[in-house]
Amino acid sequence: MFEFFRKLFGYASEADSPTEKPKSEKQVGEKQASEPAPAPVQASRDEIKVSPANGATRYVVLGGGPAGVIASETLRKMDKTGDILLIHGEDGQPYSRMAIPYYLSDMIDEAGTELRKSPGHYQDLGINVQHGWVEGVSPDAGNIQMSGGQTVPFDRLLVATGASAIRPPIDGLDLPGVHACWTIEDARNIVRLAEPGTHVVLLGAGFIGCIILEALVERGVKLSVVEMGDRMVPRMMNETAGNMLKRWCQNKGVNVLTSTSISKIEPSEGADGEGLLVDLDNGEQMPAHLVVIAAGVRSNMGFLEGSGIKTDQGILVDKFLRSSHPNIYAAGDVAQGPDFSTGGFSVHAVQPTAADHGRIAAINMAGGNAPFKGSLVMNVLDTVGLVSCSFGQWQGVEGGEQAERVDENAFKYVNLQFEGDHLVGAISLGRTDWVGVMRGLIQTKVPLGPWKQKLMSDPHLIAEAYVARAGT
């Protein structure tokens, strides 16, 4: 699974890739660890060590994910003498959330999730990595406030604080055995509890939920998935593709319930070793040793309240990823940046967008002139062996046309969305060879010419259309 996605999209560099775990290495996360209380604003444990003023530009980067790390490295390339402070809100080294499923699947150990593997990487670049949680930002004063009371100055600030898992208003989410799957601490708890044969309930069959589903199946648990939408991945797939994916998972032994909600989670008094009972809105109950919450994510920007920085679903930025204050930029899951397909501004919470944001924001922070052309809606999943993807305006556009072909028995499906002479969106199920060409035709906005009608008649000619029209 990992190798397919690495080849398709890649990481920012080879150093970003999860490293396969040695066969003999002991599992990380065997000790019981308590789940931290959810909070959009994190709190510092240690005093941030600030370099003395020496006339160099002070760059502060908030967030130790891909956007923050790539931004810090790009800043160093752009400014050899600038002071770069990277504040990471979790313990340990900056890591990739994209690698967590591989940790859950025992493909890598915990160290394999780290974004940079070489010892001393950040120190060698002169990047000062500190741990702490931010409480507020004073843009005009040029400083941030840490929860311990410390004030940290900046000349240029990048907010790359990512997102946090949404916890829906369900009674019992605070019980032992109920965990999100978003941080490395969450992953440790899931590894501890998701033993082969145990009953696990997964709340949510969206993009994140399906990634977790794959990892839980590989752990050998008895898995039930509860999705309130009428199909799996409703924000990525139409009804035909979403229900084909549901049937595929059911054939693989996963109990998938759509159009269903969890009404309550309660302790179990039974002696079967399952510590929880999950109540559904249809009146049924399911036993569970572990409940995993995958109900979506929300941008981490609560600490900006009162700062004057304009926000919506994320921090509003211009084409240079600059916020409403000229010295403050945003990148990654917290940034509401340019959208390639619509021409508007959206939050695209995927790692390729975070990587692009981090690099481009840093160039502009250091005095460069690098407008961001916009990120393409791009979702690719490998769900228990069935690859599905959607790109661009896969729902279609007003006045547009579509072509589709479906093979229910073979679990193959393709849907193409056209606006005039251009391909603007696509869905594919059960095919890996079309992913790159679909993305290419949409992203290049190449006119299809006579190939438009050929694709309308037979969307399976998508690869031939790409070869014929690429570069025209």
The pLDDT, as a whole number, for residue 52 is 63
**One-letter amino acid for residue 265 of the chain:** I
Task: Answer whether 432's CB lies under 8 Å from 463's CB.
Answer: no
DSSP letters, 391-449, are EESTT--TT-EEEEEEETTTTEEEEEEEETTEEEEEEEES-STTHHHHHHHHHHT---T
CATH class of the domain comprising 178-295: alpha beta
| CA pair distance 68, 66, nearest whole angstrom | 6
What are the backbone dihedrals phi and psi of residue 213, each rounded to the nearest 5 degrees, phi first? -55, -50
The pLDDT, as a whole number, for residue 49 is 72
CATH number for the domain whose boundaries are 2-163+298-365: 3.50.50.60
Strands 262-267 and 255-257, bridge-based pairing = unpaired
C-alpha pair distances (Å), 72 with each of 6, 77, 80, 296, 414: 23, 9, 12, 28, 40
Tens-level pLDDT at each residue, the chain (472 residues)? 444 444 444 433 333 334 444 333 322 222 233 333 333 333 334 577 776 667 899 999 999 999 999 999 999 999 999 999 999 999 899 999 999 999 999 999 999 999 999 989 999 999 999 999 999 999 999 999 998 899 999 999 999 999 999 999 999 999 999 999 999 999 999 999 999 999 999 999 999 999 999 999 999 999 999 999 999 999 999 999 999 999 999 999 999 999 999 999 999 876 455 699 999 999 999 999 999 999 999 999 999 999 999 999 999 999 999 999 999 999 999 999 999 988 899 999 889 999 999 999 999 999 999 999 999 888 999 999 999 999 999 999 999 999 999 999 999 999 999 999 999 999 999 998 888 999 999 999 999 999 999 999 999 999 999 999 886 6
Task: Answer whether 38's CB lies under 8 Å from 167's CB.
Answer: yes
Task: Answer whether 309's CB lies under 8 Å from 336's CB.
Answer: no
Q: Where are the domains of the chain?
A: 2-163+298-365, 178-295, 393-469
Q: Count of CB atoms within 10 A of residue 414's CB? A: 23
Task: Answer whether 329's CB lies under 8 Å from 321's CB.
Answer: yes
> With the CA atoms of 399, 401, 407 and 410 taken in that order, what torsion angle do they form, in degrees rounded to the nearest 10?
-90
3-class secondary-structure state, position 284: coil
Sheet holding 151-153, edge to edge: 134-138, 143-146, 151-153
Q: Is the dihedral of CA 363, 18, 380, 62 positive or negative?
A: negative
DSSP class of 12? S
CATH number for the domain whose boundaries are 393-469: 3.30.390
The pLDDT, as a whole number, for residue 21 is 45
The pLDDT, as a whole number, for residue 23 is 35
- Please identify which residue in the block is written with the tokens 């930025």: 317
The pLDDT, as a whole number, for residue 54 is 75
| CA pair distance 35, 180, nearest whole angstrom | 9
The pLDDT, as a whole number, for residue 42 is 36
The pLDDT, as a whole number, for residue 472 is 64
| CA pair distance 323, 161, nearest whole angstrom | 14
Residue 131 parent element (H or E) = strand 127-131
The pLDDT, as a whole number, for residue 51 is 67
Task: Answer whether 15's CB lies under 8 Å from 392's CB.
Answer: no
How many residues are present in the chain? 472
pTM here? 0.85
Domains 2-163+298-365 and 178-295 fall in the same CATH topology: yes
